[in-house]
Amino acid sequence: MNDGLHIRPGIFVEEDELEEQFIRASGPGGQNVNKVATAVQLRFHVANARHLPERVRTQALKLAGSRATKEGEIVIEAGRFRTQEQNRADARARLTELLLKASEPPPKPRKKTKPSKGAVERRLKEKAGRSSVKKMRGKVSFD
């Protein structure tokens, strides 16, 4: 099933919205790393995504942080593995994870509550006790 990324029901990314470019990976690997472009750079233009709600788009850009460009593109580089296929799957998995997190419903708004009368009294009593302790630390006068 290589027809894009399925995030949640009704939220998916089509294959033509993803742009992959294979680049040379850095790090260890001997002569192989100098010859073969195994790392993948996955680009996803969030603004052009046809099947993402507006809230998910803005949240995805916010969660992407430094991986997002000014043009509204998310760039994910994967070079952990030695093969193109593994790096490609890794980059897609990371994009799916980011979009899944972005598509979570927002948290419920916090209900404001007042402290109980007893809690207020205890706090004020504690403050008065602290105050008296600190007053006792002043200079001693012999009147």
CA dihedral 103, 107, 109, 111 (to 10 degrees): 170
Provide the percentage of residues in the chain whose pLDDT is more than 90: 20
Fold of 5-102: Double Stranded RNA Binding Domain (3.30.160)
Average pLDDT, integer, range 92-102: 89
Bigger pLDDT: 37 or 92? 92
How many angstroms separate the CA atoms of 74 and 92, rounded? 12
Distance of CA 87 to the CA centre of its chain: 21
H helices of 14-136, where?
Answer: 32-35, 54-64, 84-102, 117-135
pLDDT tops 50 at residue 85: yes
- Going from the C-alpha of 122 to that of each of 1, 20, 126, 127, 136, the distances in angstroms are 63, 63, 6, 9, 21
Domain range annotation of the chain:
5-102
How many other CB atoms are found less than 10 A from the CB of residue 101?
13
3 state DSSP class of 9? coil
Token pair 């995805």: residue: 60
pLDDT in tens, 32-74: 666 777 788 888 888 888 788 888 888 888 888 888 888 888 8
Bigger pLDDT: 8 or 126? 126
pTM across the whole model: 0.67
What 8-state DSSP symbol labels residue 45? E
